[in-house]
A = this chain, B = another copy of it.
Amino acid sequence: MKNILLTIEYDGTDFHGWQRQPGKRTVQGEIEKTLSKLLRQDITITATSRTDSGVHALGQRANVKGNFGIPTERIPLAANNMLAGDVRIKSAEEVELDFHARFDAVGKKYIYLIRNASYDLMQRNFCYHIEKELDFQSMKEAVKYLVGAHDFKSFMAAGGKVPESTVRTIYSANLTVEPINEGRKIIFEVRGNGFLYNMVRIIVGTLVDIGLGKIPSSDMKDIIESCNRSRAGHTAPPQGLYLSEIYFDHVELQRSLRGDE
């Protein structure tokens, strides 16, 4: 018996999200179908995060248990030859039998891309287009309030499974800017021990509303404390969101946090 941890990259555009659903093309469904053929048995995989339709992943993780004839290191290439171009297994490694991709995660990193420039059709599935100029400094001010352990109920969408607690710890939250043709790209990077349903997208929507002058940046503190979804901003669209990295131990997480400095 082996337990194999996969690192998976996908372009979420043409998927109905991660989770297997009858009659719909999902990332879990495509990978399970492919691995079932490759490994000649019914395969079920367990991912760290269930991403929504249109959301991308650079480093989704999932584990799969079973007795497989094929050497672990051969799985990525063999599976990728059978998978469509919009999903790819980047690596496969053997882990302890009791390892669980969801329960053993201590942190995750998401990236959200905002294109603050004229509309670019080629980028439509990969960022949030904001043509009006955003006040980057105000947005950056507001980001500071996010770090730490807070009740993030104001940033939770209805529709997900309601969790026992809505307290989450944000380890880092950074906003950076890069010049591009006729404008700039604003990149939000956030690491936390977990995220509520649509939390990153509602944070980004709130930051955009701050950047547009609809909400003062100093309100961010009150919005968090209010625990009231209606105080926060809109939900930014899924196509700007990337599940970037998953951390399974604190050493790995600390190393990643230091990389920011």
Which residues of A come within 8 Å of B, CB atoms? 9-11, 56, 85-88, 121-122, 124, 126
Contact = CB atoms under 8 A, between A and B. Distances in A.
B121 A9 contact: yes
A260 B122 CA distance: 23
A101 B122 CA distance: 24
Contact of A56 (B9, B85, B88, B122): B122
A38 to B, nearest CB: 20
Nearest to A57: B121
A246 B10 CA distance: 35
Contact of A85 (B85, B87, B121, B126): B121
Nearest to A125: B85
Contacts of A10: 121
A85 B9 contact: no
Nearest to A10: B121
B85 A11 contact: no
A245 B9 CA distance: 34
Contact of A124 (B56, B85, B124): B85
Contact of A86 (B9, B87, B121): B121
A56 B9 CA distance: 24
13 contacts: A9-B121, A10-B121, A11-B121, A11-B122, A11-B124, A56-B122, A85-B121, A85-B124, A86-B121, A86-B124, A87-B121, A88-B121, A122-B126
A27 to B, nearest CB: 12
Looking at A85, A121, A126, which has the most chain B CB atoms within 10 Å of its CB? A121
A132 B122 CA distance: 26
Nearest to A122: B11
Nearest to A85: B124
A245 to B, nearest CB: 14
Given A9-B121, A11-B121, A88-B121, 5 more contacts: A11-B122, A56-B122, A85-B121, A86-B121, A87-B121
Contacts of A88: 121
Contacts of A87: 121
Contacts of A85: 121, 124
Contacts of A121: 9-11, 85-88
